[in-house]
A and B are shown apart, each in its own frame.
Chain A
Amino acid sequence: MSFYASFGTVLLLLAVTAPLALGFGFGAAAGSRSHLVPVKWLSNLYMAIVRGVPDIAFFLFFVIALDQGLEWMRHQVLCSDWDQPIRQGNDFVVCAAAKLPQNSAPEVYHQIYGFALAVLTFAIVFGAFAGNVIAGAFKAVPHGQIETAEAYGMTKRQTFWRIMVPQMWTYALPGLSNLWMVLIKATPLLFLLGVEDVVYWAKELGGTKTARFTDYPHGDWRMYYFFGLLVFYLLFTKVSEVVLSRITRKLSHGQATAAGEAMRKAGAGA
């Protein structure tokens, strides 16, 4: 039963991560166009570093780093009278009140906390990729549009929100749909972050079961379980592909791009 529920975990991760990563990406892209130099550098640095290093290394890094960062902050606030160093040799020690989640908390909270860390990690990594796509899309908006906006007396802020942002999406969509596919294919990495996901259960349930421990003894079925997962992901990416191509069609409607022009001509001919 947990095996089927874990498919829900995967879908939940996608549903929460996608908008969050889009938000991170939008922030980074907007930041890289900022007139404040530090903001600009920070955004560019964020995108460059995350893209240059294997994402799995980031997954492993951020989960520990975020956990320790949160506990360190709580430690500073909650236990100001603590006089021992936090890093004692090979250990990371904070006072009991700063532990996240509390040692006494029920198991569910530990799982939710682990899942939340995983979501945040995914969002940080994929936000950098999305940021790159969106930054490219901002550059692709025709310059004439910005000049026209200025000619109408719009401020920088108005130009950004009313002219750039609505038009940027059609240029960003091919890259973003590609990214969605990448995100789907990154979900099995949840397993490495300690979340009990499909991979965990496939390994667990597929392993050899002897008659002593279960009512349904079987040999090593892990190969078939993973074949099932393979098919699940194939179907998932196929369906996404069809849906995304529909959205692309919808968004290019009435845009000053080759695709939009082709649609206009097809409509005029009919």
Chain B
Amino acid sequence: MSCSETIASYAFRSLGFGERRLPTTDITLCDQVTLIGSGMLWNIYFGLLAILLGFFSAQAIALAKASSNKAVRKPAEWFIFVFRGSPLFIQFFFGYFLFLSLKQAFPQFDNLTDAWLGAAIVLWLNTTAYSAEIFFGALMAVPKGDLESADAYGFSGWPRFRRIVWPTMLRLAWPAYTNEAIFIFHSTTLVFFSGFPALQQKGDALYYASYFADKTFNPFIPYPILAGYFVLVTLCIITVFGLIGKRLNRHLPQGRTKRPRLMSQIFR
């Protein structure tokens, strides 16, 4: 089978299109590159979904944690504590078996045990908690002078948040949030190793990489391919987030726009 045929039959194998049988003998480099790349579609799907949804929910939780109302603050604090304090791997397992029992009790939750929905929910909640902590830290670091100036100009309530607090919070949180985006993207590789089944061998990039490592007994080819894909996507994330960060900082005097150093140490 030539390489173009391989691409034609395996490019969307991870989504269930094309040739059903995975290559078992005479595995070529082309097979590996194509299938692992096909698996990357899942990683990109999970990563994008978690980052897009998590961006909004995380800010809601961060604001709730900053609230002076105890009934709002406490649940937010607990949510963050539970999801930041326990391993994502265990969360996946627990989530899967929770969804499994839910499904048995109520048939309408049928889809929850499928990776595309169940794992996406767990990832979303997880990144919400981590990003909420980042946004909360940034919220606490908004300069006092900015708030006083806002008061002096007669800003209050929603306009004060929308025009003064929110842009500064986003700007301060951005470097740490970029890290979080990279990490949640890396975490997507855990999905198919943690209970969620890869139905009909429709798995993600790491699933195929470990499949090839098992079949060929040679880890030195599939894993570097996987690493190459991930470095590529990580560079894309850094570029896109860098552009957004530049826009967030565009009002600052150019030349001395040192990137805000807040919590640049925080990773997970």
Residues on A facing B (Cβ under 8 Å): 49, 52-57, 60-61, 64-65, 68, 87, 90-92, 129, 133, 136, 174-175, 178, 181-182, 184-189, 191-192, 199, 202-203, 206, 220, 222-223, 226-227, 229-230, 233-234, 237-238
Contacts and interface: CB of A to CB of B under 8 A. Distances in A.
Contacts of A234: 81-82, 85-86
Interface in B173-225: 186-187, 189-190, 193, 206, 209-210, 213, 215-220, 223
B108 interface: no
Q: What is the size category of the interface that chain B forms with chain A? A: 35 or more
B193 A192 contact: yes
B266 A178 contact: yes
B255 interface: no
Contacts of B154: none
Nearest to B101: A223
B93 A60 contact: no
A60 B186 CA distance: 14
A165 to B, nearest CB: 19
A186 B230 contact: no
Most buried by A among B81, B101, B223, B231: B223
Nearest to B186: A54
A206 B218 CA distance: 34
B267 A187 contact: no
B234 interface: yes
Contact of B215 (A90, A202, A230, A238): A90
A174 B215 contact: no
Contacts of B81: 234, 238
A238 B220 CA distance: 39
Report whether over half of chain A's contact residues are helix, strand or loop; otherwise say mixed.
helix
Task: From B85, B213, B266, name the one whose CB has the most chain A CB atoms within 10 angstroms.
Answer: B85
B206 A238 contact: no
Contacts of A57: 189, 206, 209, 223, 226-227, 230
A191 B94 CA distance: 15
B145 interface: no
30 contacts: A49-B227, A52-B227, A53-B230, A54-B186, A54-B189, A54-B206, A57-B189, A57-B209, A60-B206, A60-B213, A60-B219, A61-B219, A87-B218, A92-B218, A178-B265, A185-B86, A186-B87, A188-B87, A188-B90, A189-B89, A203-B93, A223-B100, A226-B90, A226-B94, A227-B94, A230-B90, A230-B91, A233-B85, A233-B90, A234-B85
Contact of A223 (B88, B98, B217, B231): B98
A228 B117 CA distance: 24
B89 A199 contact: yes
A87 B219 CA distance: 12
B155 to A, nearest CB: 31
Interface string B239-268: 000000000000000000000000001111
Given A90-B216, A133-B265, A223-B100, 7 more contacts: A56-B193, A57-B209, A136-B265, A184-B87, A189-B89, A199-B93, A234-B85
B181 to A, nearest CB: 14
B231 A53 contact: yes
Given A52-B230, A60-B213, A233 B86 contact: yes
Nearest to B206: A57
B227 to A, nearest CB: 4
